[in-house]
Structure 1
């Protein structure tokens, strides 16, 4: 595994974002050329690690291009509802999941409807959205309603009560902070073939360090597949935000986010994005403020989150590989 050293030098002169840029450069310059399922092709390395200190509201929010953190936050809040239909996102103007159900609709019906028209119909027609906007049992379903089945005396199985992994982890952090089982898992092998996209950020493990009065909540995220240019900026923000929210709910302080990737890659058609971003210098230290502590983690709203000291450089657009 490639480990990118913690960029915070004793003098504090090296920006935390530099480790992300170093990883991007390493993949682009030394990664193996591979043909992937999308047919676009990638440059890929096996295994990487990044570490970010989340103390005092610090967030791994990239500054060398604009990252739409409110979009990523809306997605995370959507995950926490357990919804698997894109309509709630569409109604908020969040576009990041639209390509998958659109491609499925065109493939199954033969209707060559454009993406924008498809999304407009999802927004306007709830019945159409119920039929064609569902992604299958993706992240949120596994997080808050992992399916269970009970064995019956007649040798058959019946559906049991779903497992809310988020609530269970918060409870275990409160009651047994030293446990090594604070895990949220998205990789449900039995349901992968029903998912529009199997989970990329698949396993979250939480770790409590420090004394009870000053306990810090750390998070390790393992990501099986990582699009470093487009996906990772969102993934880092979302994992850090989830850690901050759980820390608030358990009366701890955010500690460290440790991100680990398996197949860590850049798409070959993202050359313009990569070269432009690598030419830029990070600046500023974005800080998260959470305005209130709701009763449960499922009660946060988008207006609860504010970011200070975020003055990013211009966005860099690139196509999503579906």
Structure 2
């Protein structure tokens, strides 16, 4: 959690910035102003970034792009970096991408998204409800299978034969299905500025980790709706309906301090009884361990 404030940073909360480490790749979401410095504090490097994902082009979600791009160039990152952003904001992207004079890099490829749904590799983007075009993101691992030691032993399958069974699907007439169970792929959903809408629930469905804005408490619900934001109560409703395993609240209005955190939890608890994390800058939040197929049922 590189930054957890909303439009206005505070003494304790930087503008947005979220680095997801996922299967050897780094997804940097919404680098707001100061993200490059926050990465230094967090021990993260430009080489840790493989995806640069912008939900929309309000300043608190993108003003850190120039520093990140220039750091990628300065540190001579060699691997490809995919930049994903709303196609309607391409002009803003170009201004941020080339905001000042620097020795450029060609490792960054641009992937503008448009329409209600777009998919790029493990990343899915869905259109949200905000005064400007905004997208939520979901990172999804493909489903797999979990090997069951007791069944392997019962069939006398051990050593190199286990790998052969996984690769080929059968060994000595014993099938993979006989020695394993389905393993659902893990998923992380990232939902920033939006009103409550169907797409929010679709992004969050079955997520192991749901990182979601909760800009306001319910006392400001009219203001939240006007400006296209969620309340903590609505974030809890989403998490409960979607069956999210771990809920992370972030993007807090500057009107709230740490002493208001119990009120955010109380609103969430009106509908959601799972794990709740109130994000703070430089906090590390693990993705929950995989569940077995039987646990999912």
TM-score of the aligned structures, taking structure 2 as reference length: 0.28
TM-score of the aligned structures, taking structure 1 as reference length: 0.27
Where relative contact order (Cα < 8 A, 6+ residues apart) is larger, the structure is 1
Higher helix share: 1
